[in-house]
Amino acid sequence: MHISVIVTVVVSYATKPKTDAELEGLVYGLTAVPSVGDIALYEKPVFWAAIVGIIFVILNMLFW
């Protein structure tokens, strides 16, 4: 086993877990996700993620 794995396990067991209040805003499960209800399509992050993904696939096909 690597020493880093051992150190990680020992530190994990030696430290006290954080409360939900301390983790709020840091982890996805405890963060309130804002609604993107009535904004234009081009202002939504998922739209731009799809555009970048499509461009990525096209460029991969061109330069393969």
pLDDT recorded at residue 8: 95
The per-residue pLDDT for range 2-61, each reduced to its tens digit, is 899 999 999 999 999 999 999 998 998 888 887 777 889 888 888 999 999 999 999 999
Count structural domains, the chain.
1
pTM summary value: 0.48
Provide the residue type at 32 as one letter.
A
**Dihedrals phi, psi of 37, to nearest 5 degrees:** -50, -70
Enclosing domain of residue 11 = 3-62
